[in-house]
Chain A
Amino acid sequence: MTRPVSLLILALAIAVPLSLLAGQVWLNPFAPQAANAFTILAELRAPRAALALVIGAGLGGAGAAMQGYLRNPLADPGLFGVAPTAAFGAVLSLALGLGGLLPLAALAGAALAMAALALIAGNASGQNSATLFALAGLMLASLSGALTSLVISLAPNPFALSEIVTWLMGSLESRSWHDVLVAAPSTALGLLLLARAAPALDALTLGEETARSLGVNPVRLLWLMVLGTGLVVGAGVAAAGIIGFVGLVVPHLLRPFTDQRPSSLILPSALGGALLLLLADCLCRLLPLAGGELRIGIALSLIGAPFFLRLLLRLRSELA
């Protein structure tokens, strides 16, 4: 476990300073000549990199925890329906012309999703609680997806429409330290909760009955998971829109380098998620497109999908 962690920290230590060079304006690191070079670095690129690290770490860690909790390699932090509900809150604020309240609306949406989960499946105990939660989450995701589409189709004017659709693709463009402040505390809190759930997740790999006999309280575990992922995903959506892929892919990429226990995967996945999002954001900053910056969801798939496919190919040959 220590090897991937130290390697990832080393990679981050290299990537973060380099990422400050990525942007629309070339800043010579040895003799910056552009006007306002310091402002560009300190107010544009640094908060952006910090936000990529925060959100990436949150999504990576939450993904690892979710896959451990549901014991399903397809699980990702979006499964509880928190992200689409948070996005619905944000879209609503955009459609009503209250763009300034967007982070608040997104967090309110995330809280609403968690409250709805509590109402629907809060009392569930026993073997099917996780399934019940996942299904409730899927339904929440479906409902808020439909509501988001409804708001889009009711958009008051084409400008609001365009803004909503662009926002939904997720981006770290023009973020400031303020956004970092919005996302960092609740991401940290969420990761903390997930880390506290880690020992129980390890026990869960032996099966639910065994875990229970080992002293795992399934209800407490469930709530740690819901609160942890809710905080992480809500903060991410509030600051950058919907960013998929990280939570699903990063744990898979890193699992072979760990001892396969969920608890030993959370930290590497958090670091890996931070690295992946940072690299993807650098790609966004460097690729000027006619319609504006490359969207981070697209960049993530461009970077992550080939890795993932290669991983699958190797798995196939191992299985054969």
Chain B
Amino acid sequence: MLRRPTPDPSRLREGGNKRDLALSRLREGSNKRLLLPSRKREGLGVGRATALLLAIAITACTQQPKREMSRTLPTIVSLNPCADAILAEVTQPGQLLALSHYSADPRAASIDPAKARLYPTTRGTLEEVLALHPDIVIDGIFVAPATAAAYQRLGLRLETLGIAGTVEESRAQIRALAALAGNPAKGEALIARIEAALAAAAPTDGAAIPALVWEPGGIVPGDKTLIAELLRRTGFTNFAAARGLGQADQLPLERVLADPPRVILAAGSDRALSHPALSHLTGTTRAPLDPRLLYCAGPTIIPAAQRLAEVRRMLGPTPNPSRLREGSTVALSSPLPLAARARLSSPLPLAARVPLSTPLPLAARVPLSTPLPLAGGAGGGQAAKHPPQ
């Protein structure tokens, strides 16, 4: 999360020194974590995390005095679909003034549609935001420079949310947003729920099954994405990465047929993903994966992990994955996707609400060709959503 232009000038004046102090302390305290080599490679990670801490520090200072917090909780307008889902969890009633328009569309939303209906949405224009007059506006990091400048000009405080490529980054985002909203405890509660879901989704046996997450257009996720981490945590390996493919590379249908993975997690549907030729693959299980589970981190991690764990359980223990991949032992191929759908629409807590209970017209989504981490499909959305200013 990058802190962008405008903190409220008056607030700055109030807490300037304290903020600097808190900031330096926070930075010292967490430098080790920030400079992990993996993070450095991610490039965005360090800056994002630093900015996160900045935001935390500022909010921590500007929210004084604590006793009056309930009365002075900042109002928030979210223009970022991934922030929508998090904010709905970490705000008090009345605090979140509007969600992004993505959340109103069940096909694009990462938030539970029933929950999304509780809030109004905006198309993301400056006018709408101004009319709502929030204390904080939250947008994606791809906010158009002209828009960012306009917020600054108009005295609105803009915070941006990046794309979380790991569970750790997602945790930091939740903490930052909860801190912004003045409800750190709610953030911790959400994180605890995510941790519990991840723990419950961990495989009971040790073997990792090669899984291909396949999106329309033959797009596959790279290894430094949230979904790749979730695969690892739920007993799979990223089949595409093992074949040398990177983020948003394409794996054509012919290649899949010539070198089939043990399981295909079809995120969406297009001609290739639902091609009849795939039914000839014995030894390959095909299971649908709601593409909305790929867009965002935050609370979406819970149903995503549950879904992956469910697929992993269906596949059973694999004493010798290589033998399974030959397709000689079990023919698991055909009826599984349907069975999975049916099972998921039963009233499971979150998993059922988010993933497959609605008849999703999934064909409508081809991921962007820009190399965004998967978890940030919605981040791409932000990039595309701003009308030319």
- Inter-chain contact A177/B257, CB cutoff 8 Å: no
Interface residue count on the B side (C-beta < 8 Å): 43
Binds A, one of B58-66, B268-276, B299-307: B268-276
- Inter-chain contact B260/A35, CB cutoff 8 Å: yes
Highest count of chain A CB atoms <10 Å: which of B108, B250, B257, B268: B257
What is the CB-to-nearest-CB distance from A190 to chain B, in angstroms, rounded to a whole number?
24
List A contacts of B268 (CB < 8 A). Answer: 159
- Inter-chain contact A156/B364, CB cutoff 8 Å: yes
Q: A163-B216, A173-B271 in contact; A98/B255 too (CB < 8 A)?
A: no
Partner of A292, one of B105, B250, B260, B280: B250
Instruction: Mark interface residues in B265-294 (1 if CB within 8 Å of A CB, else 0).
Output: 000111110011100110000000001000
Partner of B254, one of A24, A156, A157: A24
Partner of A157, one of B105, B253, B271, B383: B105
List A contacts of B383 (CB < 8 A). Answer: 158
List A contacts of B365 (CB < 8 A). Answer: 157, 159-160, 163
Partner of B366, one of A25, A163, A293: A163
CB within 8 Å of B: which of A285-309? 291-293
- Is B381 positioned at the interface, with any CB of A under 8 Å from its CB? yes
List A contacts of B280 (CB < 8 A). Answer: 36, 39, 43
List A contacts of B217 (CB < 8 A). Answer: 166, 292
Q: How far is the CA of A173 from the CA of B258 in the complex (A)?
A: 17
List B contacts of A98 (CB < 8 A). Answer: 361, 363
- Inter-chain contact B367/A157, CB cutoff 8 Å: no
List A contacts of B363 (CB < 8 A). Answer: 94, 97-100, 163
List A contacts of B107 (CB < 8 A). Answer: 97, 156-157
Interface residue count on the A side (C-beta < 8 Å): 36
Partner of A176, one of B277, B364, B381: B277
- Is A95 positioned at the interface, with any CB of B under 8 Å from its CB? yes
Q: Which residue of A lies closest to B252 (CB)?
A: A24
- Inter-chain contact B364/A95, CB cutoff 8 Å: yes
List B contacts of A173 (CB < 8 A). Answer: 271-272
- Inter-chain contact A36/B281, CB cutoff 8 Å: yes
List chain B positions with a Cβ less than 8 A from chain A: 102, 105, 107-108, 216-218, 250, 252-255, 257-260, 268-272, 275-277, 280-281, 291, 360-369, 377, 380-381, 383-385
List chain A positions with a Cβ less than 8 A from chain B: 23-25, 34-37, 39-40, 43-44, 94-100, 156-163, 166, 173-178, 291-293
The 18 sampled A-B contact pairs (Cβ below 8 Å) are A24-B254, A35-B258, A43-B277, A44-B275, A95-B364, A97-B362, A97-B364, A156-B364, A157-B364, A158-B380, A158-B384, A159-B364, A162-B366, A162-B369, A166-B366, A174-B253, A176-B271, A291-B369
Besides A25-B257, A156-B107, A157-B105, 15 more A-B contacts (Cβ < 8 Å) are A36-B257, A40-B257, A40-B258, A94-B363, A95-B364, A98-B361, A99-B269, A157-B381, A158-B380, A159-B364, A159-B377, A173-B271, A174-B271, A174-B275, A292-B250
